[in-house]
């Protein structure tokens, strides 16, 4: 088994306050892995650590066979500034940035591939549309088209199916399945446990630390989910107590 990601006593957080702590384990190359857990469990924080936008407080994240240029990271849709004056074509073209650089020109062949990516996500005819005019589902389709252009071996998606219509969810899940079939490593944060049970063979259940990791049906048990929620509630109670004492 080739390892794509290795965690060794990993602790991630903000201002020295841990959000994920003492995480160990490996993700094999080509895995399709869901990351689940209650609110405040550290799911988004973990993706930021893997993407390299957040440095560990302790421990390490190793990517033995992944070049940082081959990581595609899609944050939550709420992090996207829809007021920025840019159209769909130009956003999708940004998927070439790591290969072309900020001043590299776009060739005729690359222009064709951008249009193919836009078509692949069902946005034919939207090339000149300003992103501020897009619905939530259309915006997410556009961002997936940008991911297609990145052609990454490691793909990190943070709540990509939240607040979008069921047709868009089904179409984007088709792209996730395509990436998995191409042996890319795909990690997806999701709160939709029914969706995870249906489409994701492996799951990591977090509650600031790992509760369970493995086949989805053995991870998302009532006992494990109850344990995860209890751990987050206990952490919140302790945090409030510390704040009052301070």
16 located within any domain: yes
Residues 158-207 pLDDT 10s: 999 999 999 999 999 999 999 999 999 999 999 999 999 999 999 999 99
179 located within any domain: no
* Residues 13, 1 share a domain: yes
pLDDT at 65: 85
User: What letters, b where the CB count within 10 A reaches 16 and e where it falls short, cover 190-217?
Assistant: beeeeebeebbebbbbbbbbbbbbeebe
174 located within any domain: no
- Output the pTM of the full model: 0.92
- Residues forming beta bridges with residue 230, ordered by sequence position: none
* Residues 60, 158 share a domain: yes
* Residues 24, 2 share a domain: yes
126 located within any domain: yes
Q: Which SS3 state, helix, strand or coil, does residue 187 take?
A: strand
Q: How far apart are CA 5 and CA 229, in angstroms?
A: 26
Indicate the pLDDT class of residue 241, thresholds 50, 70 and 90.
very low
72 located within any domain: no
210 located within any domain: yes
Number of domains into which the chain is organized? 2
24 located within any domain: yes
- Residues forming beta bridges with residue 23, ordered by sequence position: 10
Q: How far apart are CA 179 and CA 165, in angstroms?
A: 21
* Residues 96, 40 share a domain: no
* Residues 94, 50 share a domain: no
* Residues 56, 13 share a domain: yes
Indicate the pLDDT class of residue 1, thresholds 50, 70 and 90.
confident
Q: What is the mean pLDDT of the chain?
A: 92
pLDDT at 135 exceeding the cut of 90 = yes
pLDDT at 70 exceeding the cut of 60 = yes
* Residues 83, 30 share a domain: no
Instruction: Look up the CATH number of the domain holding residue 243.
Output: 3.40.50.300
Residues 78-106 pLDDT 10s: 677 888 999 999 999 999 987 665 556 78
Q: Domain residues for 35?
A: 1-66+154-167+184-246
Burial of 77: CB neighbours in 10 Å, binned 0-12, 13-18, 19+:
middle
* Residues 148, 94 share a domain: yes
pLDDT at 238: 58
Residue that is last in its domain, among 104, 129, 152: 152
* Residues 38, 61 share a domain: yes
The percent of residues above 70 in pLDDT, for the chain, comes to 92
* Residues 96, 196 share a domain: no
* Residues 160, 48 share a domain: yes
178 located within any domain: no
Rg (CA), the chain: 19
Segments of 29-86 assigned E as strands: 32-36, 58-62, 71-74
* Residues 125, 231 share a domain: no
């Amino acid at each position: 088994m080739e390892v794509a990601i290795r965690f060794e006593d990993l602790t991630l957080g903000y201002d020295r306050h841990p959000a994920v702590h003492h995480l160990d384990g490996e993700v094999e190359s080509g895995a399709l892995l869901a990351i689940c857990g209650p609110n405040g469990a550290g799911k988004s924080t973990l993706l930021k650590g893997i993407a390299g936008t957040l440095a560990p407080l302790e421990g390490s994240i190793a990517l033995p066979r992944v070049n940082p240029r081959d990581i595609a990271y899609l944050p939550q849709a709420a992090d996207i500034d829809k007021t920025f004056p840019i159209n769909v074509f130009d956003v999708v073209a940004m998927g070439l940035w790591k290969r072309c650089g900020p001043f590299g020109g776009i060739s005729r062949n690359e222009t064709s591939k951008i249009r193919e990516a836009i078509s692949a996500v069902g946005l034919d005819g939207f090339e000149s549309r300003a992103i501020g005019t897009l619905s939530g589902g259309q915006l997410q389709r556009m961002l997936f088209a940008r991911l297609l252009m990145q052609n990454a071996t490691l793909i990190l998606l943070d709540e990509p199916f939240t607040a979008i219509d069921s047709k868009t969810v089904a179409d984007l899940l088709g792209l996730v399945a395509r990436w998995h079939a191409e042996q890319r490593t795909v990690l997806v944060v999701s709160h939709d446990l029914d969706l995870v049970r249906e489409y994701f063979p492996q799951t990591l259940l977090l509650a600031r630390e790992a509760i369970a990791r493995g086949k989805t049906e053995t991870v998302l048990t009532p006992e494990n989910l109850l344990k995860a929620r209890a751990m987050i509630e206990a952490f919140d109670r302790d945090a409030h107590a510390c704040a009052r004492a301070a």
